[in-house]
Chain A
Amino acid sequence: MTYIAKPRLHHPTLTLNNVGYTRRDYEGRVSTLCAGCGHDSISAAVIQACWELDIEPHRVAKLSGIGCSSKTPDYFLGASHGFNTVHGRMPSALTGANLANRDLLYLGVSGDGDSASIGLGQFAHAMRRGVRMAYIVENNGVYGLTKGQFSATADRGSKSKKGVINSDSPVDLVGLALQLGATYVARSFSGDKAQLVPLIKGAMAHGGAAFIDVISPCVTFNNHGGSTKSYDYVREHNEAVSRIDFISDRNEITAMYEPGEVIEVQQHDGSMLRLRKLLSDYDPTDRNRAMNYMQTHHSRGEIVTGLLYVDPMATDLHTSLNTSELPLNAMSAAQLCPGSGALAKLNASMR
């Protein structure tokens, strides 16, 4: 464990974003993960994305389950409230938090053991309900804290550090998210910050359940030959469908592209996702084709990354429940309690 306190003094020349914060204001405590852990790169991407998005740090609530990945919310957004819940049960706690206050942004952080093994049910049902959140799985295919057992996302035939060959089929969280109705589905790689940062920004701006599966190599237990979640393997097999720019409604659009090279997707909040196509036939707004494409490329051993599917006009659980605009946690007795007069009438009806 690292007990070093991070210095809070900031250099005066650090750039401020539109809401007056430096990038350092989005940092958290010093990470206690292994040097070179993919998860730390994801934390850095979260920090970068939130700073660039001009989100006030305290307007984010970050929730996680249990495991290496679920520790990371302590290492970013130190001015945000965080909740390290129960193994595999982050989705339900996040759902409740979201119902209590619809005005905050919800960031769910989980791992492959947390979401694909013990918490597969909660993962599935949060997607079904369309809870508005950015749900990031830091996927390394292995249990790190308990020293290297396979998780449910480990590919069949992949080899553990101890030399054991995995005989079980993998759970494909992206495939499940697509099938279960998630309205923003992406896959990325912790080693590709240029792709990951705009994907996180798009997810934070999304109006419904946004899911990003981030392959994030475990340098200690799953970065060897025979692993399909190592840095080398992912770099070799990465098939990006597009390059993404996230453009908030305040930013001026400067770059010019030839027609047909780009797809522009405007989300509900006015922000724009500009996807520079790397594959001419890929349409990220077609759920069925996305599912088909994923399956086909997976069977070829390729890891498809990028924004795989988005419903830009997605709505969320609050829309389905027709919840009040005023957050439920801000309501007073005057707004919630029917009072003694109504009770007298009810009493009368029970005689």
Chain B
Amino acid sequence: MKTTKAVEGINDFVIKFANVNGSGSASANELFAKAILRMGVPVSPRNIFPSNIQGLPTWYEARVCEKGYEGRRGGVDMMVAMNPQTWDADLAEIEAGGYLFYDSTRPMPPSKFRTDINVIGVPLTEITNAAYTDPRQRQLFKNIIYVGALSVLLDVDADVFEKLFAETYKGKERLLESNVRALHLGRDYVKTNLAAPLGIRVRRSDQVGDKIFVDGNSSIGLGLVYGGATVAAWYPITPSTSVPEAFEKYCHKFRVDPVTGQHKFAIVQAEDELASIGVVVGAGWNGARAFTATSGPGISLMTEFIGLAYFAEIPVTIVNVQRGGPSTGMPTRTQQSDLLSCAYASHGDTKHVLLFPEDPHECFEHSATALDLAERLQAPIFVMTDLDIGMNQRLCKPFVWDDARAYDRGKVMTAEELEAGKDFGRYKDVDGDGIPWRTLPGTHETKGAYFTRGTTRDPYARYSERGPDYIYNMERLLRKFKTAADLVPQPVLRNAAKKTSIGVIYFGSTSPAMREALDVLEEQDIHLNALRLCAFPFPQSVDDFIARHDKVFVVEQNRDAQMRSMLVNELDVSPKQLVKVLHYDGTPITARFIARAIRENLQPAVTAAPMHREAA
């Protein structure tokens, strides 16, 4: 069945594992990815999984790329087809000249194969059953055996795996031994029976350096520990659940008093998202750094409280790991489609601060920053990530923490200041930045108490439905929002190699695909200045960037061009200047998609030929 053509690619290929969920494949696949990283070669894996516990198809797609492009490439060079349910669709995805790896224990009719791909059969079940009798062991070690087989085919050194096993099973000698044995069962079969390595393969390199391999949700959990969050309330929802779980894990590691055993944190799994945000609002009002993590449906439920936090000015941090909407939508797929529902959450005139981390490194950084901003601005702060960043491990810069960094607790008036007779008007703008001073409950015997409410009040927090009092307050909130634009993480500019009048705006998980697309376009002599947005509200520099260009592409992962709407809504720009580039099928956006969309817009006549290796 060997064809003449075979895809070649040293440190540059996409391998996809088709598995059944609940079969233990996830850890084997992760092991495979980590081994490639240990070879010094960047790899970016993505979990493509159903909303299900056991038995449904799940995929793990890993892109190996010496150049370090972390975005999804599109197309599959090698399919590890371990799931009979999805066999036909999986085979169809393989590039012409690509490779199919399968369990050849049971004979398959030739009609089940394609003739334009290279087929590699390894009798995995046969090898496994000969070596193990326990059914659970058979299932788990079959995964390690295919990893072993692949390691020879793709030229990954055995010692890399052995070292990884040694680290994972430190002190568990029996597990260590049995894993190493399984690995070599796979390796030995390939060495004896097949030609290896293949045209696609791994070669030792030095492109990983001190980078770390971690998922966004864990990074947020850790960032919140570093940023000083003490109260967390949450309700389970994919894909954000692992945020509070990571927070809890790191709290148990770092926040348990060694002497008393008491916890320097409080986590409540609430009855719903309304209660989650309520707990966070109550804790923020009372001076603790508090957060909740959720996804789109949770945001919908929280909106009334978000309006209260905006109007009563309570520090709140909300992590939104976005998934496909609306309604239950695509709970295990990725999108950037909650921008508007978060930016303008709740009834009445509201605007909220959003942060857009691009990778796990920034997830850590932005989470700690969000806690500072929440107290500085006395407002809800949203950390807007998505499933693509949140639930996939990504190679990124190591986490950094400056021990000199102090928490910004914002404008909190102390008992001493109150005692000294300092004027306290809870909703009074004394500094011209729109941010009032607040007091915490219990501060002073007789001064500084006020009644917090979502109803209108005068600058001294006294109930008032007078028009001028209302206007004063609403205008001050706008002033505060303007202040926020200078405090949030600022946009990152990448200028094109050549002078150009074309620009592109992007944000969040689109980053790696965008970086790659810019390189690809540059090779084709298409030059764009690129601005990565890191937050909402938009600072002046965003306005200036758009003004400097005739045409600006806005790349985002939703149907309705929500970021473009926000740019048009908030800035004095012409909608005609902003060209939509929209990707919203639930898969992560690819460089190929972006490059093609931009090229087709700029050179409509030239780009008639179909794209190769484009994802379905």
> Which A residues form the contact surface with B (CB < 8 A)?
56-59, 61, 63, 73-74, 78-86, 89, 91-101, 103-104, 121-122, 124-125, 129, 317-318, 321-325, 328-329, 331-333, 335-340, 342-343, 346-347, 350-351
Comparing B88-96, B120-128, B334-342, B434-442, the segment that makes contact with chain A is B434-442
Beyond A83-B453, A328-B266, 16 additional contacts (C-beta under 8 Å) are A80-B441, A81-B452, A84-B452, A89-B278, A96-B279, A97-B286, A99-B279, A101-B287, A101-B442, A121-B271, A125-B271, A323-B263, A333-B405, A338-B254, A343-B399, A347-B212
A-B contact count (CB 8 A): 226
Residues of B within 8 A of A59 (CB): 442
Is B441 a contact of A97 with CB atoms below 8 Å? yes
Residues of B within 8 A of A338 (CB): 225-226, 253-254
For B250, the closest partner residue in chain A by CB is: A338
Is A336 a contact of B264 with CB atoms below 8 Å? yes
Residues of A within 8 A of B443 (CB): 58
Residues of A within 8 A of B278 (CB): 85-86, 89, 91-93, 95-96, 122
- Of residues B272, B286, B452, which shows the largest number of chain A Cβ atoms within 10 Å of its Cβ? B286
Is B230 a contact of A331 with CB atoms below 8 Å? yes
A306 CB → nearest B CB, Å: 30
For B288, the closest partner residue in chain A by CB is: A100
Contact residue among A99, A121, A332 (Cβ-Cβ distance under 8 Å from B272): A121
> Which B residues form the contact surface with A (CB < 8 A)?
37, 208, 210-214, 222, 225-228, 230-231, 233, 253-255, 257, 260-268, 270-272, 274-288, 290, 304-305, 308, 312, 398-403, 405-407, 439-446, 449-455, 463
Known: A81-B439, A321-B263. A340 touches B254 (CB 8 A): no
**Docked CA distance A242–B11 (Å):** 82
Residues of B within 8 A of A337 (CB): 225-228, 401
A297 CB → nearest B CB, Å: 31
Contact residue among A58, A73, A91, A99 (Cβ-Cβ distance under 8 Å from B451): A73
- Of residues A99, A122, A322, which shows the largest number of chain B Cβ atoms within 10 Å of its Cβ? A99
**Docked CA distance A97–B278 (Å):** 10
Is B454 a contact of A79 with CB atoms below 8 Å? no
Contact residue among A58, A89, A98 (Cβ-Cβ distance under 8 Å from B449): A58
Contact residue among B212, B264, B442 (Cβ-Cβ distance under 8 Å from A331): B264
Is A333 a contact of B279 with CB atoms below 8 Å? no
Residues of B within 8 A of A322 (CB): 261-263
For A90, the closest partner residue in chain B by CB is: B278
Is B403 a contact of A340 with CB atoms below 8 Å? yes
Is A100 a contact of B211 with CB atoms below 8 Å? no
Is B282 a contact of A329 with CB atoms below 8 Å? no
5 A–B contacts, CB within 8 A, in A order? A92-B274, A95-B279, A322-B262, A323-B262, A323-B266
Is A321 a contact of B266 with CB atoms below 8 Å? yes
Is A63 a contact of B450 with CB atoms below 8 Å? no
**Docked CA distance A98–B444 (Å):** 18
**Docked CA distance A40–B286 (Å):** 27
Residues of A within 8 A of B271 (CB): 121-122, 124-125
Is B285 a contact of A83 with CB atoms below 8 Å? yes
**Docked CA distance A343–B250 (Å):** 11
A111 CB → nearest B CB, Å: 16
Residues of A within 8 A of B284 (CB): 96, 100
A104 CB → nearest B CB, Å: 5
Residues of A within 8 A of B401 (CB): 337, 339-340, 343
Is A351 a contact of B283 with CB atoms below 8 Å? no
B66 CB → nearest A CB, Å: 18
For A328, the closest partner residue in chain B by CB is: B230
Residues of B within 8 A of A58 (CB): 441-446, 449
Residues of B within 8 A of A318 (CB): 266
Residues of B within 8 A of A340 (CB): 400-403
Is B283 a contact of A96 with CB atoms below 8 Å? yes
Is A328 a contact of B446 with CB atoms below 8 Å? no
Is A125 a contact of B270 with CB atoms below 8 Å? yes
Residues of B within 8 A of A91 (CB): 275, 278
For B441, the closest partner residue in chain A by CB is: A81
A67 CB → nearest B CB, Å: 13
**Docked CA distance A89–B306 (Å):** 13
Is A324 a contact of B403 with CB atoms below 8 Å? no
B389 CB → nearest A CB, Å: 15
Is B444 a contact of A336 with CB atoms below 8 Å? no
Is B282 a contact of A94 with CB atoms below 8 Å? yes
